[in-house]
A and B are shown apart, each in its own frame.
Chain A
Amino acid sequence: MRVYEVFVKKDGRNEFRHVGALEAATDELALVLAREAYLRRAEGDRLWVVRRDHVVAAAGDFVDPNADKPHRHHDGAAVAARRMAARQSPG
């Protein structure tokens, strides 16, 4: 048996969402069983199953948030604060 991650998309929405996982012996069984486990109440109209061992995953410390780099946030708040400070400073 292999573990499959299950993704479902709703009509009119762009993204597939991860809804859970299941164990199955073949790709076909994974599709058949996912349909019953995750779509029997019309939760979506498109279905992906992906073998978990086919997922390319990064190590945890590789994706630690870059919390100390506010200049990468493009919300403009930091720049706006500096401009305000510059305007108010004498001279």
Chain B
Amino acid sequence: MSEPHGVREYLLAFADDEHLMGQQHTEWIGVAPFLEEDLAVSSIGQDELGHAALLYELVLDLEGVEATDPALDVLAFGRPSDDYRCCHLVEYTTHDWAEALVRHWIYDTFEAMRWQLVAGSSLPKLASVARKALQEEAFHRRHADALLDKLLDAPEARERILEALGAVYPLVEGLCEPVEGEAGAMSTGVAAASTADLLEPLHQAIEARFDSSDSIGSRTASLQNRRTKRSADFDPLLRRMREVLDYDPGAVW
């Protein structure tokens, strides 16, 4: 894979993760456990969608395409499934609020580490997005931590949170799995280090946060190219995301 193609794939993986995570958060609008949480989680989702839009713009920049709304829509919603590079953690359909909260904490912990890797990027626009995103991530983490501090302290809630961790944890390795093109992003200084280097610190952070090795189980640490394959949850999710767009694909917004 040539370097520009590698950089494109690297940015797409980042953008697709943000896009799907944002969508997943916003699906709690109206059904989160209480009103204030409803507002907070959908607002955090909006931040993630904002990051995704900025990253998709960078992809269009690389292609020499003007980042108009229709061009962004095609990139964000209009690719065949095989062209997405998201990880399975953000595709995963959670079964309850506990799973959504655990994923929120894990994803945002990872995301802050990931933005650090591009904070000094050779792409000036990416470095500037990283600075803005890192401020937002500090708040996202504080939100998830505040909830977990309270819930992990109560026996019944703790049990449910750890059960949720058991369900979500097998997807953590795929989150840290790089795309093939990442080598090109690293050799051109777009990223300072590999996404794979985040697996160990992330694992340690999860252990420290949840203090439970039972729910975590063993790790295989083998690369399986999961980012090029879609999980079963992806297609229904993309259909939900495209639902309004599909009513009238030619509509001008």
Contact = CB atoms under 8 A, between A and B. Distances in A.
Interface string A24-35: 111011001101
B36 A25 contact: no
A35 B37 CA distance: 11
A26 B36 contact: no
A7 B49 CA distance: 29
Nearest to B46: A40
A37 B36 contact: yes
Nearest to B41: A36
Interface string B29-40: 000001111011
Nearest to B43: A36
A23 B36 contact: yes
Interface stretch (B12-20, B81-89, B139-147): B139-147
Contacts of A32: 40, 139, 142-143, 146
A51 to B, nearest CB: 15
Interface residues of A, number: 14
Interface residues of B, number: 15
Contacts of B142: 28, 32
B130 to A, nearest CB: 22
Contacts of B40: 32-33, 36-37
Contacts of B149: 26, 28
A47 interface: no
Interface in A1-52: 1, 22-26, 28-29, 32-33, 35-37, 40
B150 interface: yes
Contacts of A37: 36, 39-40
Nearest to A28: B146
Contacts of B150: 25-26, 29
Name the residue among A25, A28, A36, A37 with the largest chain B CB count within 10 angstroms: A36
A26 B146 contact: yes
Contact of B37 (A26, A28, A33, A40): A33
Contacts of B146: 26, 28-29, 32
Contacts of B147: 29
B27 to A, nearest CB: 17
Contacts of B43: 36, 40
A69 to B, nearest CB: 44
A33 B39 contact: yes
A38 to B, nearest CB: 10
A24 B139 contact: no
28 contacts: A22-B35, A22-B36, A23-B36, A24-B36, A25-B150, A26-B146, A26-B149, A26-B150, A28-B142, A28-B146, A28-B149, A32-B40, A32-B139, A32-B142, A32-B143, A32-B146, A33-B36, A33-B37, A33-B39, A33-B40, A35-B139, A36-B39, A36-B44, A36-B143, A37-B39, A37-B40, A40-B39, A40-B43
